[in-house]
Structure 1
Amino acid sequence: MLYVLVFLGGALAGVAGGFFLARQQMKDYFKKNPPINEEMLRTMMAQMGQKPNEAKIRQMMRSMQKAQK
């Protein structure tokens, strides 16, 4: 009976520890690599020699959001 309680306690501690570790790693990842926003798209288009207009920016944002789902 004691073995079962120790096993369950260890399993719960592992799940909780894994959750918080994964959460911290995702926070660090998004801090280093923020998701693309409209301003980044404008900058990329300008660097490629295209004139960024609002309709094209919104279309690209919609297509990226649709691709993420």
Structure 2
Amino acid sequence: MGYYILVGILALAAGVALGFFIARKYMMSYLKKNPPINEQMLKMMMMQMGMKPSQKKINQMMSAMNKQQSK
């Protein structure tokens, strides 16, 4: 009887761990393919805040965000 409980607990733990790593891998690849913000969105946000966005400033902000995301 105790053997079945032990096997059940081990199978549950293995399933949870495997599910976590599969979901993590999927989300990482999804975010890499579809970044949450792009240059157009950044330009629109800057314009809404009353700033005149230059391409240099947009490139700096995008590179900073990409650096932060890769950590």
Q: Distance in 2 between matches of 1:16 and 1:39?
A: 37
Stretches of structure 1 lacking an aligned partner (at least 5 in a row): none
Normalised by the length of structure 2, the TM-score is 0.56
Identity of paired residues, percent? Answer: 52
Which consecutive aligned stretches of 4+ in structure 1 deviate over 6 angstroms post-superposition? Answer: none
| 1:42 CA displacement | 0.5
Normalised by the length of structure 1, the TM-score is 0.57
| 1:17 CA displacement | 4.6
Which residue identity does 1:45 align to in structure 2? M
Q: How does 1:6-45 map to 2 (within 5 A)?
A: 6-18=8-20, 35-45=36-46
